Chain A
Amino acid sequence: MTSSALLPVAALMTSLMASVIIFALPEKNYRLRTLINLAAAILKLTLVVVMVWGVMQGREYEAAFTMVPGVEFVLRADALAMLFAGLSALLWLLTTIYAVGYLENSPNRSRFFGFFSLCVASTMGIALAGNLFTFFLFYEMLTLSTYPLVVHRGTPKALRAGRTYIIYTLTGGAVLLLAIAWLHGLVGDLRFQEGGHFADLAPSLEGPVTMIFVLLITGLGVKAALVPLHGWLPQAMVAPAPVSALLHAVAVVKAGAFGIIRVVFELYGLEATSDLGLLMGLAAVAAFTIIYGSTRALFQVDLKRRLAFSTISQVSYIVLGLCLFGPVGAAGGLVHLVHQGIMKITLFFCAGNYAETLGVHCIDELDGAGKRMPATSMAFTLGAFGMIGAPPLAGFITKWTMGTGALAVGMDWVVAVLVASSLLNAAYFLPILHRLWFAPQSRPWPEERRWGRLETSSWLFWPPMVTVVLTVLFGVFAALPFSPLSWVELIVLREVAL
């Protein structure tokens, strides 16, 4: 095996091996487990950084073998894969650190971290998958490895949420499989390729291909939480905070969004999708989801539930960006894959910190929390402003790029959607910020814990600090090389040669 094939396999195996070892470790072996977790996360991040560098230089990393005749297993590190892999590797490291602190002294940690690593391995597989079949394998593996995380607490509520989750995602998976099989029967095994395959499609195929597209998007849309397929997501909030953080920022919803990106860009091709009249439909669904998610978020009193509905809204920015038939809009959508990830994970880390440190779960209990936990509240504030799309944060870069892209192709209504969504975001985030900083604490914290010098345990303290700094840096230094914006511009240059 050459080194170009070795790297993507190694990146995948790192977390897979970590998962196996952790399952095998006895429950009480806390130190070794933490060490393996962190070592694997750091190793994987290093491998991904090496690949990012290589891809930047124009190198290709690919490992492929035939499973059964006509069906290939392909791992390939292209620019698009690295966008998702980079995000996932970075946030895995931070979430691992966070989870170690969050689950301190709770039972079944060995099981938790085992599935946690498996979940990240699946995400890595999804990023690197070079064809639909490989993508599907890891997509289902993700479903199965996240289920134990969602029900980790074992409460009736968690089990109920888990059931909903598994029903939604397995059904989605089945629809996806149907679509893949149909497509395979129609045109054979197609690798993802820049520009897509259907640029000059035989007219006789147009009907089935359109149907298949609808099925593919339906299957992927379950995880991406497109309305009306979003029902599982708010319920899955019962999961522990690091799981929610990971689910919302990289793993599940992004797997769906990333799948949609692959299908639109590299299977069908942007032009073909547009010619088939599919982009407008998808854009309408995404726009509706954006507004619907934000509106529902407005009425939630549980902090994590409000964040969940916000995720539904924000992930559809990515989809909407793809539908703006042009390079700038596509860049805006793609860059939100990363931007939404770091902003949302910041917010979930903070929500977890409030819950673990003060016992606060509801928004009206947050009065005066800014004084007790200034750093966490600062991170939350910046994350929230990022979501609103206020400059100079990452969310602003997304909004500006998407808005410019939409105007460039005459889809002015998208700007109205973006503005409406920002207003709604402001309406549900700003009151929280007012409570944090300006409302006096009216009653004692429900369940306060103290950890020495810092406002919370240092395992919980640092991850949101890192992500919030990134939220600012990705916004302010958007023009520098290796910023998410520059990277997606590189991708778009290769994908959309319009």
Chain B
Amino acid sequence: MRALYRYSLALLPVPALWFALLAEPGWRLELPWLFFGGLWAMDELRHSVLLLTALLWTVAGVFAAGYMKERHLCRFWVFWVLTLTGNLGLTVSADVASFYSFFALMTFAGYGLVVHEGTDEANRAGRVYLAMAVVGEMAILSGLLMAAQLADSGLLADLPAAIADADRRWLIMLLLLSGFGVKAGLPLLHFWLPLAHPVAPTPASAVLSGAMIKAGLLGWLVTLPFGEVSLPDWGNGLVILGAVGSLGGAALGLCQQHPKAVLAYSSISQMGLITLMVGAALANAEAAAPLFAVMSLYVVHHGLAKGSLFLSTAMALPASRAGQRLMWLLIALPGLSLAGLPFTSGAASKLAMKELLKPDRFDFALAAYLPVLMSAGAVATMLLVWRFLWVQRAGASTGNNHPFLWLGWGLATAASVALFWLLPWHADVPQKAWLSAMVQDAWNLFWPILVATLLAAVALRLVKQR
């Protein structure tokens, strides 16, 4: 029975993964008996998020099968399954009630993952998580209620147009932006995140930071009035928030002692970069559709890389020198990918993002700063990766890993490094000839990494001298 709980962790998300690989955007399922009338459907955006979610939960499940101890295994299993159900369900929900139900299920069941270890630290983190999550849920509920009432419809697809025409557009948008922003780690709504993501058991941290954080983003993308109106003020506001998130998150992350805490701040930082795109898409209605494609790509890239990084924190190093070197390389690769190393998933995402965020395409005040912010973000990311590797090395131990740990981490790393290129991408991602473009842009991609590495080397030297 125990073994069944343990190994089913790995198998439960497989049907969803299978479905994500087979189903085409355009799939829909009407469930008139559900709530006020349910509709589950898939478009390009949801397809990408579902792929990432199912993939990451699968590899994290494999990892968990090796990682989890016997104590409270059954309880962990229940909360894992509930959170998984919520996270998968919300990606295919096209009606408000289903979406909100799955979102709430994921939020509340996620508490069980956060406090699982039962330490004082975990309970404290759980309290902050729950308090902020409940407030967030209420903001989401109020926003959805107002939008759905105006739209006179229970379908998510009808909300953006209704919000765009609403008298109190600012209020509805503020509610939805902040409600989902709690999950997405928007600055000032992020306090729970660096507490909760690190204290959870490692596989749970991976899905929290890799997949569940994206549910907040998805919430924004399916409800806010993208493509309906151009809202330069909101664009400015979000670009500021994104900048604060990406640079501030990195700055705070550099001060962390614990590898998982560094990674949690890195997630805030990465979500900050995505927030730049969200802001740009709100500011210019025409840019929304192509930006959605890039955000989908970025979501898959960041989710897989971050998942792999989180899982690596629980891996013990092999005894042999060569083995250690190889291991460090594999641990560092997803990190380098976050920083946009050429020929990684990060490079693809960064190039696509750069292509679309050219200032001349936008006319809101802060658009001119977008390229600078992106470059600064890349430097900050790489610095954080160095910090992560530094603290990870300080705490690393040698020894054997459970085979399922190897398998889970290996799959996650392989997915981030290789499988990413084989996944079906959003059809609207610009520039199909990725690899050749990367050769041309190699220097543009490479210099932030170089700068960050120099800075890290200087910092290291200073630390050693003291």
B75 within 8 A of A: yes
| Contact flags B111-134 to A (C-beta < 8 A → 1, else 0) | 010010010000100100010001
Whether the Cβ atoms of B118 and A479 lie closer than 8 Å is: no
B135 interface residue (CB < 8 Å to A): yes
Query: Chain B residues near A477 (CB, 8 Å)?
Result: 33-34
B97: Cβ under 8 A from any A Cβ = yes
With CB as the reference atom, state the residue of chain A lying closest to B96.
A400
Are B145 and A403 in contact (CB-based, < 8 A)?
Answer: yes
Contact with B along A472-487 (1 / 0, CB 8 A): 0001111110000000
B406 on the A face (CB < 8 A): no
By a CB distance below 8 angstroms, the chain A residues around B130 are 430
- State whether the Cβ of A391 lies closer than 8 Å to any Cβ in chain B: yes
CB distance from A415 to the nearest CB of B (A): 6
Within 8 A of A (CB), among B86-123: 97, 100-101, 104-105, 108, 112, 115, 118, 123
A231 on interface, CB distance cutoff 8 Å: no
Cα distance, A211 to B336, chains bound together (Å)? 77
Give every chain A residue within 8 A of B123 (Cβ-Cβ).
434, 438
| CB pair B146 A419 closer than 8 Å | no
The closest CB in chain B to the CB of A481 belongs to B33
A295-327 near B? 1/0 per residue, CB < 8 Å: 000000000000000000000000000000000
CA distance A451 to B35 in the complex (A): 39
The listed residue (A390, A392, A434) touching B97 by CB distance below 8 A is: A392
Q: Give the docked Cα–Cα distance between A396 and B137 (Å).
A: 12
What separation, in Å, do the CA atoms of A404 and B33 have in the docked complex? 20
Task: Please measure, in the bound complex, the distance between the C-alpha atom of A434 and the C-alpha atom of B100, giving whole angstroms.
Answer: 23
Residue of B nearest to A440 (CB): B118
Given contacts A477-B34, A480-B33, A391 and B104 within 8 Å (CB-CB): yes
Cα A477 to Cα B36 in complex, Å, equals 8
**A390, A423, A479: the one within 8 Å of B34 (CB):** A479
User: Which residues on the B side are within 8 Å of A392 (C-beta)?
Assistant: 35, 97, 101
A479 touches B149 (CB 8 A): no
Given contacts A390-B108, A408-B149, contact A478 B36 (CB under 8 A): yes
Chain B residue numbers with a CB within 8 Å of A408 are: 149
Chain A residues within an 8 Å CB radius of B97: 391-392, 400
Nearest Cβ on chain B to A492's Cβ, whole angstroms: 15
Residue pair A479, B145 in contact (C-beta under 8 Å)? no
B-facing residues in A440-498 (Cβ within 8 Å): 440, 475-480
- Return B145 CB to nearest CB of chain A, in Å: 4
8 Å CB contact of B145 from A400, A426, A440: A400
**A403: nearest chain-B partner, CB-CB:** B145
What range describes how many residues of A lie at the interface?
20 to 34
CB distance from B110 to the nearest CB of A (A): 13
Q: Which of B37, B112, B137, B141 contacts A437 (CB 8 A)?
A: B112
Report if A422 contacts B (CB, 8 A): yes
Interface presence of A98 (CB below 8 A): no
Residues of B contacting A475 in the complex (Cβ-Cβ under 8 angstroms): 35
| Contact call A419/B34, Cβ cutoff below 8 A | no
Contact of B33 among A385, A399, A426, A479 (CB under 8 A): A479
Tell yes or no: A407 within 8 A of B by CB. Answer: yes
Tell me the B396-415 residues at the A interface (CB within 8 Å). none
Among A390-411, those with CB < 8 Å from B are: 390-392, 396-397, 399-400, 403-404, 407-408
Given A404-B149, A423-B138, is A476 in contact with B112 using a C-beta cutoff of 8 Å? no
Cα of A35 to Cα of B149 in the assembled complex, Å: 51
Q: Which residues from A are CB-within-8-Å of B75?
A: 437
Q: Bound state CA distance, A404 and B123, in angstroms? A: 36
Q: Which residues of B contact A (CB under 8 A)?
A: 32-37, 75, 97, 100-101, 104-105, 108, 112, 115, 118, 123, 126, 130, 134-135, 137-138, 141-142, 145-146, 148-149
Which A residues have a C-beta under 8 Å from some C-beta of B? 385, 390-392, 396-397, 399-400, 403-404, 407-408, 415, 419, 422-423, 426, 430, 434, 437-438, 440, 475-480
6 residue pairs A–B, Cβ–Cβ below 8 Å: A403-B142, A430-B134, A438-B112, A438-B115, A476-B35, A478-B35
Top 3 A-B residue pairs of the complex, sorted by shortest distance between their CB atoms: A391-B101, A407-B149, A392-B101
